């Protein structure tokens, strides 16, 4: 495996992904972003709290995300 660094010019996000190929790295990134988007939708539906992209991007763990949601309640 190699470490791929993917830069998102739209959000200025930098992602470090370990994968066997660049295509696999982009697939992993797409999966992670999809999961983050679904988590944001669930929080919006269940708690009527809108998470911003930076809220999700700055959360390194589920606990970080939980604390962000809790602080907005």
Residue 20: the pLDDT is: 94
Whether pLDDT at 60 is above 80: no
pLDDT band at residue 18 under the 50/70/90 scheme: very high
What phi and psi values does residue 3 have, to the nearest 5 degrees?
Answer: -95, 120
The span from the CA of 39 to the CA of 65, in Å, is 9
State if pTM tops 0.75.
Answer: no
Q: Does residue 11 register a pLDDT over 80?
A: no
pLDDT > 90 fraction of the chain, expressed in percent and rounded? 21
Tokens at residue 70, please? 């809790």
Closest residue by Cα to residue 39 from 27, 25, 53 = 53
| Cβ–Cβ < 8 Å for 29, 23 | no
């Amino acid at each position: 495996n190699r470490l791929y660094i993917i830069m998102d010019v739209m959000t200025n996000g930098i992602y470090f992904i370990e994968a066997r190929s660049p295509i696999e790295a982009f697939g992993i990134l797409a999966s992670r972003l999809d999961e983050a988007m679904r988590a944001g939708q669930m929080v919006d539906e269940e708690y009527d709290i809108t998470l911003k992209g930076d809220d999700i991007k700055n959360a390194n763990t589920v606990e970080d995300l939980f604390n962000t949601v809790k602080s907005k309640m």
